[in-house]
Amino acid sequence: MDYITLIQLLDSTVRFATPLLLACLAGLFSERAGIFDIGLEGKMLAAAFFTAAVAFLTGSAWVGLLGGIAASLVLAAIHGVASITFRGNQLISGVAINLLAAGMTVLVAQDWFRQGGRTPGLTGDARFEGITLPGAAAVADVPVIGPLYAELISGHSILVYIAFLAVPLTWWVLFRTRFGLRLRAVGENPAAVDTAGVSVVGLRYAAVLIAGVLCGLAGAYLSTALQAGFVKDMSAGRGFIALAALIFAKWRPWYALWATLLFGLFGALETRPDVIEAVIGLKVPGPLLGGLPYVMTVIILAGFVGKAIPPRAGGAPYVKER
Amino acid sequence: MNADATTGQPETAAPAIELKGISKSFGPVQANKDISIRVMPGTIHGIIGENGAGKSTLMSILYGFYKADRGEIFVSGRKANITDSQAAIASGIGMVFQHFKLVENFTVLENIILGAEDGRMLTPSLAKARRTLVDLAADYGLNVDPDAKIEDIGVGMQQRVEILKALYRQADILILDEPTGVLTPAEADQLFRILARLREEGKTIILITHKLREIMEITDTVSVMRRGEMTATVRTADTSPAELAELMVGRKVLLRVDKTPAQPGEVVLDVQGLRVIDSSGVERLRGIDLKVRAGEIVGIAGVAGNGQSELLEVLGGMKAGQGTALLNGQPLDVTGKKSDGKTRRKSGVAHVPEDRQREGLIMDFQAWENTAFGYHDDPAYNTGFLMNNAAIREDTARKMERFDVRPPNPRLAAKNFSGGNQQKVVLAREIERNPDLLLIGQPTRGVDIGAIEFIHEQIVALRDQGKAILLVSVELEEILALSDRIAVMFDGRIMGERLPADTNEKELGLLMAGITDTAHEHSVEEIEANLAHVHATDKGA
Amino acid sequence: EPALIFDLGGKFDKSFNEAAFTGAQRWAEETGESFREIELQSEAQREQALRRFAEAGNNPIVMTGFAFGDVLSQVAPDYPETDFAIIDMVVDQPNVRSVVFNEHEGSYLVGMMAAMASESGTVGFIGGMDIPLIRKFACGYAQGVKAANPDATVLANMTGTTPAAWNDPVKGSELTKAQISQGADVVYAAAGGTGVGVLQTAADEDILSIGVDSNQNHLHPGQVLTSMLKRVDNAVYQAFQDGPGMEKGFNVMGVGNGGIGYAMDENNADLVTEEMKTAVDEAAAKIADGSLQVHDYMSDDSCPALDF
Amino acid sequence: MDVMPKWAEVVLVPLISLFLAAVISALVILAIGEDPVAATKLMVEGAVGSVRGWGYTLYYATNFIFTGLAVAVAFHARLFNIGGEGQAMLGGLGVALALLFIPWPHWTLGLVAASLGAAIFGAAWAFIPAYLQAKRGSHIVITTIMFNFIASALLIYLLNEFLKPVGQADPSSARFAPHLDLPTLNSVLGSMGFRASKDDSVNVTFLIALASAFAVWVLMWRTRLGYEIRAFGHSESAAKYAGINPVRITVITMLISGGLAGLMGVNTVMGEAEKLLLNSTEGAGFIGIAVALMGRSHPLGVVIAAILFGFLYQGGAELALWTTIPRELIVVIQALVILFTGALDNMVRMPLERLFLARRLRRAPGPDRKPAE
Ligand SMILES: Nc1ncnc2c1ncn2[C@@H]1O[C@H](COP(=O)(O)OP(=O)(O)OP(=O)(O)O)[C@@H](O)[C@H]1O
Ligand SMILES: Nc1ncnc2c1ncn2[C@@H]1O[C@H](COP(=O)(O)OP(=O)(O)OP(=O)(O)O)[C@@H](O)[C@H]1O
Ligand SMILES: [Mg+2]
Ligand SMILES: [Mg+2]
C-alpha cells in the first residue's frame, strides 16, 4: 500500500468516523449523566431528514441544520420526559424513538415532497461543501506533508471540523467546568447531587438535550454534507455502531475519538478489498468482507479492552421515594 | 458529661430548629405522624428509635430531601420554606446521611465542592476549596487527603468528607444520621471530640443513633421516636439508658448479654497460614493461624478493612486464598478451585455475611425465596426437578415465627422489611440449619436495641448447643459481650488473642491500631499514623 | 381493477419497483382508471397479499421481484380465474405471465460505453446487496467493458449484506470515492437508493456515472453517461393494458425486443460520442440477432469476466 | 405494599396507555389527510375479524413470543441480549440444514429435527458473546450487536455459495420436501370441513411458542436453575455468597436465550416460507426487546405483548392492502404503542396511584393504619 492510498484510506476513515463520533459524543453526554440512549440512531435519522428538508425549502444548509437540530431535540425531549420525568425504562424509550423516527421521516417526507420518502436533491448553498483550508493548494506538492494536509486534513465539510473540535470541547466541559463535574456526578450518584442542592432533573435534561444537538449535527452531516438529500433509513445502523464505540471508549471523550476512528477505518477498509488483499495476502469473499469489521471489533473487545464499567447510576431512573 | 450545657442557654432564645406538625407518607406507609420538635442553638440533640421509626425520614425532610405532606419548619425562629436541599443549605443546615451521598470515583475535593463551586470553572473552585479544606482540617482535626478517591478510602474517612462537605457550605446546624454505625471506637471517640468542638463554636447538632451509650455521653437533650411518632423528648441528664430503651421499644430491654462460661470442646475449625491476595495484588491476609472449638465464640476485633471481611469470605467459600484449613479434621478447600458457598454449606458451615443487603439477601426476593437462598439444593426444598415452593414457604413461616420476624409474612419482599428484621431472616436461615461452624459478620450493624438483644441471645444459644462460632464485628462492645476468646486483626495479621475477662476496650483499641506494646501510653497521632497506612490500602468496607 | 404488488424495497426504491409504479401510473392516467397497490413489509405478506387481491376480484395481479416466484407457483393454481403477471421470475402456471429481463445484455452495452468513455482504463461497478441478480448486472457489465477494451480494469463492490445495503447512499459515496482513488472514472450503480449516493459523488468528483433501471440521466445532467434501461414500466403497463384474459407464458425482454436498452436524451447527448453509439448499436444488433451471446451469471453462478 | 389493586396494574394501566397511543396515532393519521376511524376499523377487522386475520396475527405473534422470551430470560440474569436477530437468523439456518439434507419421513420428525437445529444454532450464536462477557468482561450489548451483523454476512455467504440452487435468482435455499409442510390453522380447519383459506399463516409452531412460554415460566419460578438465574440477575455479589457460579449462569442463560430466539426460525423457515430466506427475521429480534420489556419479562406478559404486536403487524398489513396510507404509518403506530405502554407508563400509573391511594385512605381512615416495619 503506497502513501497516497493510505491518505485516501484515512480520508475515507474520517468521513465514516464523523457521524459516528458526533453520535458517540452525544451518547457520552447522555450516559455520563445516567441516561442510556439507544435512540441515537433515531435522532440522527430525524435530523438527517429535517436538515435536508429545511435546507431544500430555505436554500440554506445552515437554516437546515437548525431544523435538523430542532427535530433531534424534540426526540431528545421525548426521551427526557419518558426517562427522567416519568422514570420510564430508558431502553424502551430508545427503541420507541428509533421506530418513531424511522416511520415519521418517511411519512412526513411523503406528505411534503411526494418523492417516496426522500427529499429533493440539494444543490449549492443548501449543502455543506468541503472547505479548503488556507495554503492547501500551496503545499499540495510538498512530499509527505503536502498530501497529508491537502488531502486528509483540508477539504472536509465544516461539520467534520466541528466534530473533531467537539472532542476537546467535550473533555473540557466534562472535566474542567462546574457543569461537567455535576453532570458526571449525576451519572454516578444522583443522590449526591441532589443532597448537594443541585437539580438532578435539570442536569439530566441538559445532558439529554446536548445529546440531541450532537445527534442533530450527525444527521445533518449525513444528508447535507456527505449526501445531497435525505433517503429513508439513511442512518443505516450508525447509531448502534456509535453506541458500541461508546462502550469501547469506556465513556471517555478522547477514547471516543479513537474508537470511532477505528470503526471508521474498518468501514473504509471494507470499501477497499484490494488493500485488504494486499495487506493480508488473501482474497476475502465479498459477503465475508462485510462481516470483517464486526469480527475485528469482537476480537479487539475480547482481547484488548478490559471490562468497561458504565456510569454507576446509568439506566436507572432517580427515585427518591419508593 | 455535658448535660448541663443547655442550662447555660436562656430558654427564651429562639430554637435553632423547630418542626411543627410534620407528617409524611410514602404511599401507604406513614413514616412521620404529626411530629413536633425544638432544638436549641449550641446543643447536641439526640434522636433514637427502632429501625423504621422514621428518624431518617424526619431529618431528610428537614434537609429538604423529602417534602413533608404537612407541617412547618422554623429555622432560628423564622419560618423556612425548605423545598429542596438547596434551600436547606441556604438556611445553614447540613446533613450527613446514614448512607453516604458521595460520588465514589470522584476525589475528596471534587465531592466537597460539588454543588458549592465558585463560578463556572473548576480549577479556581478546586484551588479555593483546597485552601479552605486545610483551614477546616486544622480547626476541627478533620484530616483527609483531598486528592484521594472516595472508593479508595475507608468509611471513617468518607464520613469526614461528609462532615467537611457540610462545614464547607458553612452549616450552622449539622444533622448526623447514625454516624458511628461504621466507625471503630477510636474513630467514634474522635468524632465525638469533633462534635463537642463544633458545639463550642456555637453550632447545633442533631444526632441519630441506636447506641444509648453515645446518647448518654454526648447529647444535651434526646427525643425518642416510635412507629412514626415522637414519643418523648427529655433532657439527657434526667434520664437513663434503661428508660430510653423502654421508651423506644415499648417494653423492658436487657442491656447486657446473659451467658454462662463457655465449655469449649473439640477443635472444629483449624486454620493455618491463610493468605489472600486481591485482584490488584495487595495481600489482604498475611498468614492467619486460628482455631475455633465447639461450644465457643471466637470474636475477631479490628478496624474495618484489616482483613476480617476476607477471612470470613475465604472461609465462607466466596473468595480464593492459600493455606490450609481443617473442618472437624477434614481438609477444607480454601483455594476456591473445588468449592464455593454451596459446598461449604453442605459441609456444615453456615455464614451470616457482613453486608446483608448486598450479600445475604436478594432484596427483591420474597422472604421465603430468601430463606432458600444458598440452600435451594436442599432435598427438603425440592421434589425432583422442581422446587417445592409450598414447602419452602411453610418452613419460612416456621422460622419467621421462631425468630420473631415482623411482619411474619413469607411473601413480603426482603426490601420491605426493616434492617433488623432483614437480619433476623438471614440469621433464621443460617442458624436453623444447625451448622457445626457459624461464621457471622457484623450481626447487629444498624439493628435496633430490641433486635440486638434477640440476636445476641440466639448466638449464645447456638454456642450452648456446642457449635463453633466465629464472630467478626467492628463493635468492640459486642465483641466483649459475646466472645469467649478475642483475636484482634490488623493489616491482615492477628495481633494477639485475649480473654474478655483479662482485657479492656483500651488495650483492644491499641491492638486494633497495630500496637502490640499495649503497656505504654500512646498518642492519638501515633495511632492515627498507624491507621492511615491501613486506610490507604482499604477499598472501603 | 388490476393490482400491483411491490417487493420489500418499496415502490420508491429508485429502481425497478419505482419503474413498475411509473408504468402503472401511466396506464391509470391514459385510461382514467384506478389500480390497487401494496408495498410489502414482511415476507409473510407475499402470500397474503396475493390471496387477498385474488379473492377481492382484482384482475390481473402484477408483482415485481423474483422473491414472489415460489409463493406464486403455489397460489396461482388456487385462483384459476385470476391472471397473474410476475416480473423478474419464471413461474410455470397456465394463468401466469412471466416477464424476465436480460439485464446482462443491457449491462453489457453500458459496459462498452463505460470502457470507451473511460480515459484511465479503469471503470467501476457498485451493487446494492450481494445477491445473484446484482451479480448478473455486474457480470454483463464487465463483459461489455472487456469487449470494448480488453485491457480495462473493472472494479466491483457490493454495498453490504443486509437489506440496509439498498438504502445506504453514504456508503455508496464512499465506495465511489474508493473506486475513484483506484483510478475509476466511470461508475455503474445497481444499488437502489444507495445508487443515489453513487451518482451524487460521481457528479461531485467530476467523473461519469451510469444509472440503472429507469432513465436517471436527468439527476445530474451532463454527468450521467447513460442509464441501463429495464422497461419494467412497459411490462406493467402492458399487463394492465391487456387486462384479464391476457396472453400467458414467458416474456423474455431483452435488447432485441426493446425491453432492455440504454438511455439517450438531451442530458447525455454531449457525453456519448458517435463512435460509442455506433459500436454499441452494432453490439445491440448482434445481441438481437443472436450472433453475440452475453453470459448470464445466473445461468451457472459464474462469471468469465469478473470474480466475486 | 402495593398501592393499586393488581387488576389496575395489570389491566387498567396498559389499557389507558394503549388508548393514549391510539389517540396520538389518530392525530397522525388525520395530519396526513386520512380517516382514523376507518383506518382503525380496517385494522381491527383485518387482524381479528376473521380466521385469516387471526391466522396472521398469531403467526407474527409466534415470532415475537420466541424473541420476547429470549430477551426476557436474559433480562432475568441482567443480561441485555440485543442479539435475538442474529440468533434467530442462525436458528433459521439450523432449520434449513436439518431439513435439506436428511430425508425425514414425516413432518413430525422433521419438526423435532428442525426445532433442535434451530435451538442449537441459536444457542451456539449466543455462546461466544456469553462466554466473552463471563470470562473477559466484553460488554454483551456490543458483542451481540456485532454478532447480528456477522450473522447476516455469514448467512448471505452460505446462501450465495452453498445453499442456493444454481441458476436461481433468489438468494434462498431450495424448498423443503412438500410433506414437511407444517399443519396450519387453516389446513386443520379445512380438514375438519370448514371453509378456510389456504394461507400458510399460523402453524403448529404457535403451540411450541406457547409451550416455550410455559416452560420458561416453570424454569424461572419452579426450578433451581431459574432461581439461580434470577438471584444472579438481582445481585451478583449475593449470588457469589450463595455459591452460584457467575460464569456458568451467564453462559447457560444466554444459551437458553439464544435457543429460544433460534426457535423462531421454525416458524418462519419451516412454517411459512418452507425454505431458508435471506431476510426471514425482519427485525423480530428487536421487536422482541419491546415485547419483553412490555411484558415485564414475564412469560404471560410476553405472550400478551407478542399478540398485541402481531395485531399491529397484521392490522397494518390490511391497512396497506386497502388504503394508500404509507406502510411507515404502521411503524409510527408501533413506536407510539411502545412509547406509551413501555416508556411512559408511569405517566398513567402515577396519577392512578394517587387516585387509588386517596380512595383507600377515605375508606380506611383513622389510626389503624400501621407504618410498615
Ligand atoms: N486517548 C487519550 N488521548 C489523550 N489524552 C487522554 C486520552 N485519554 C485520556 N486522556 C487524558 O486523561 C485525562 C483524564 O481523562 P479521562 O477521560 O481518562 O477521565 P478520568 O478522570 O481518568 O476518569 P473518569 O472519567 O472515570 O473520571 C484527561 O486529561 C485527558 O486529556
Ligand atoms: N424512600 C422511601 N420510600 C418509601 N418508603 C420509605 C422510604 N424511606 C423510608 N421509608 C419507609 O418509612 C419508614 C421510616 O423509615 P426511616 O428510614 O425514616 O426509618 P429510620 O428510623 O431511619 O430507621 P433505621 O433505624 O433503620 O434507619 C419505614 O417504614 C421505611 O420503610
Ligand atoms: Mg435511618
Ligand atoms: Mg408456503
The Cα–Cα gap between B222 and B5 comes to: 13
| Residue nearest ligand 1's atom 22 by CA | A252
**For residue B456, how many C-alpha atoms fall within 13 Å in the half-sphere facing its CB?**
26
Q: State which residues form the domain around D335.
A: 1-34+325-358
Confirm if D53 and D45 have CB atoms less than 8 A apart. yes
**DSSP secondary-structure letter at A114?**
-
Are residue D101 and residue D225 in the same domain, yes or no?
yes
C and B touch with 3+ CB pairs <8 Å, answer no
C133 at interface of D, judged by CB pairs closer than 8 A = yes
pLDDT at site C156: 93
The tens digit of pLDDT for each residue in C254-267 reads 998 889 999 999 99
Are residue B409 and residue B363 in the same domain, yes or no?
yes
Q: Which of B249, B269, B301 is the last residue of a domain?
A: B249
Mean pLDDT of A64-91: 95
The tens digit of pLDDT for each residue in A17-60 reads 999 999 999 999 999 999 999 899 999 999 999 999 999 999 99
Which amino acid appears at position C37 of this protein? E
D44 CA distance to ligand 1 middle (Å): 55
Residues within a 6 A CB radius of ligand 2 = A 320-322; B 26, 29, 31, 49, 51-57, 98, 418-419; D 371-372
The Cα–Cα gap between B456 and B459 comes to: 5
Are residue D82 and residue D186 in the same domain, yes or no?
yes
Mean pLDDT of A263-284: 86
Are residue B95 and residue B196 in the same domain, yes or no?
yes
Q: State which residues form the domain around B228.
A: 42-65+90-249
Task: Indicate whether A284 pLDDT > 70.
Answer: yes
> Rounded to two decimals, what is the model's pTM?
0.86
Strand, helix or coil for residue C122: strand
Residues 6+ positions from A311 with CB-CB distance below 8 Å: A31, A32, A33, A34, A184, A187, A188, A251
What residues in B contact A197, CB-CB < 8 Å?
Answer: 64, 84-89, 115-116
The Cα–Cα gap between D250 and D140 comes to: 10
Are residue B168 and residue B280 in the same domain, yes or no?
no
Residue D43 counted as domain residue: no
Confirm if A146 and A7 have CB atoms less than 8 A apart. no
The alpha-carbon gap from C303 to the nearest alpha carbon of chain D, in Å, equals 12
Q: How many domains is chain B partitioned into structurally?
A: 3
Task: Indicate whether C141 pLDDT > 90.
Answer: yes
Are residue B122 and residue B206 in the same domain, yes or no?
yes
Nearest to D168 by CA among A108, B145, C90: C90
User: Are residues C44 and D198, on separate chains, in Cβ contact within 8 Å?
Assistant: no
**What cell does C174 get?**
464512499
User: Strands B485-490 and B493-498: what pairing?
Assistant: antiparallel
Residue B205 counted as domain residue: yes
Are residue D223 and residue D84 in the same domain, yes or no?
yes
User: Are residues A178 and B27, on separate chains, in Cβ contact within 8 Å?
Assistant: no
What residues in B contact A32, CB-CB < 8 Å?
Answer: none
B502 CA distance to ligand 1 middle (Å): 55
Are residue D122 and residue D15 in the same domain, yes or no?
no
SS3 per residue for chain D: CCCCCHHHHHHHHHHHHHHHHHHHHHHHHHHCCCCHHHHHHHHHHHHHCCHHHHHHHHHHHHHHHHHHHHHHHHHHCCCCCCCHHHHHHHHHHHHHHHHHCCCCCCHHHHHHHHHHHHHHHHHHHHHHHHHHHHHHCCCHHHHHHHHHHHHHHHHHHHHHHHHCCCCCCCCCCCCCCHHHCCCEHHHHHHHCCCCCCCCCCCECHHHHHHHHHHHHHHHHHHEHHHHHHHHHHHCHHHHHHCCCCHHHHHHHHHHHHHHHHHHHHHHHHHHHHCCCCCCCCCCHHHHHHHHHHHCCCCHHHHHHHHHHHHHHHHHHHHHHHHCCCCCHHHHHHHHHHHHHHHHCHHHHHHHHHHHHHHHHHHHCCCCCCCCCC
Strands of the sheet containing B78-80, edge to edge, are B29-39, B17-26, B70-75, B78-80
B124 at interface of A, judged by CB pairs closer than 8 A = no
Residue D78 counted as domain residue: yes
User: Could you give phi then psi for residue D96, rounded to 5 degrees?
Assistant: -60, -45
Average pLDDT over chain C reads: 91
Are residue D13 and residue D127 in the same domain, yes or no?
no
Strand, helix or coil for residue B173: strand
The Cα–Cα gap between B263 and D259 comes to: 58
The tens digit of pLDDT for each residue in B247-289 reads 887 777 666 778 888 888 999 999 999 999 887 778 889 999 9
**For residue D232, how many C-alpha atoms fall within 13 Å in the half-sphere facing its CB?**
26
| Residue nearest ligand 2's atom 18 by CA | B54
Q: Which of D265, D300, D335 is the last residue of a domain?
A: D300
Residue D14 counted as domain residue: yes
Are residue D92 and residue D144 in the same domain, yes or no?
yes
> In which band, very low, low, confident or very high, does the pLDDT at D169 lie, cut at 50, 70 and 90?
confident
The Cα–Cα gap between B453 and B255 comes to: 7
Q: Which of B249, B269, B297 is the last residue of a domain?
A: B249
Q: What is the mean pLDDT of each run of 10 residues along chain B (541 residues)?
A: 43 83 86 93 91 87 92 92 91 90 93 91 92 87 88 82 91 90 74 90 91 88 90 91 82 75 91 88 89 95 84 92 92 86 91 90 94 92 92 95 90 85 92 93 82 90 94 87 93 90 84 73 61 48 34
pLDDT at site B520: 63
**What ipTM does the predicted assembly reach?**
0.84
Task: Please give the distance of CA B22 from its chain centroid, rounded to a whole number.
Answer: 28
Are residue D18 and residue D124 in the same domain, yes or no?
no
Are residue B327 and residue B453 in the same domain, yes or no?
yes
Are residue D201 and residue D280 in the same domain, yes or no?
yes
Are residue B305 and residue B364 in the same domain, yes or no?
no
B56 CA distance to ligand 3 middle (Å): 4
Are residue D334 and residue D200 in the same domain, yes or no?
no
Task: Indicate whether D162 pLDDT > 80.
Answer: yes
B383 CA distance to ligand 4 middle (Å): 45
> Which chain A residue is nearest to residue D129, measuring alpha carbons?
A298
pLDDT at site B255: 65
Q: How many domains is chain D partitioned into structurally?
A: 2
pLDDT at site A259: 93
Which amino acid appears at position B204 of this protein? T
Q: Which of B402, B433, B464 is the last residue of a domain?
A: B433
Task: Please give the distance of CA B534 from its chain centroid, rounded to a whole number.
Answer: 19
Are residue B231 and residue B258 in the same domain, yes or no?
no
Confirm if C71 and C79 have CB atoms less than 8 A apart. no
| Residue nearest ligand 1's atom 8 by CA | A254
Are residue B340 and residue B486 in the same domain, yes or no?
yes
> Which chain A residue is nearest to residue B109, measuring alpha carbons?
A181
pLDDT at site C172: 94
Taken in order C182, C187, C192, C196, the sign of the CA dihedral is positive
pLDDT at site A322: 54
Strand, helix or coil for residue B115: coil
What structural domains and CATH numbers belong to chain A?
3-124+134-301 (1.10.3470)
How far is CA C122 from each of CA A237, C190, C223, rounded to the nearest angstrom? Answer: 32, 18, 17
Are residue B235 and residue B218 in the same domain, yes or no?
yes
User: Are residues C42 and D313, on separate chains, in Cβ contact within 8 Å?
Assistant: yes
> In which band, very low, low, confident or very high, does the pLDDT at A310 lie, cut at 50, 70 and 90?
confident
**What cell does B355 get?**
453486608
A181 CA distance to ligand 1 middle (Å): 14
Residue B85 counted as domain residue: no
The Cα–Cα gap between B47 and B57 comes to: 12
Cis preceding-peptide flag for D14 (omega within 30 of 0): no
CATH classification of the domain holding B449? 3.40.50.300
C and A touch with 3+ CB pairs <8 Å, answer yes
The Cα–Cα gap between B329 and B311 comes to: 19
User: Are residues B110 and A188, on separate chains, in Cβ contact within 8 Å?
Assistant: no
Are residue D353 and residue D239 in the same domain, yes or no?
no
> In which band, very low, low, confident or very high, does the pLDDT at D2 lie, cut at 50, 70 and 90?
low
Residues within a 6 A CB radius of ligand 1 = A 171, 252, 254-255, 258; B 105
User: Could you give phi then psi for residue D137, rounded to 5 degrees?
Assistant: 70, 15
pLDDT at site B4: 41
Are residue B229 and residue B99 in the same domain, yes or no?
yes
User: Are residues A197 and B84, on separate chains, in Cβ contact within 8 Å?
Assistant: yes
Are residue B320 and residue B429 in the same domain, yes or no?
no
Task: Indicate whether D50 pLDDT > 90.
Answer: no
The Cα–Cα gap between A21 and A293 comes to: 17
**DSSP secondary-structure letter at B237?**
G
**Best of B23, B56, B97 for a ligand 2 pocket test (most atoms within 8 Å of beta carbon):** B56
Are residue B157 and residue B212 in the same domain, yes or no?
yes
> Which chain A residue is nearest to residue B91, measuring alpha carbons?
A197
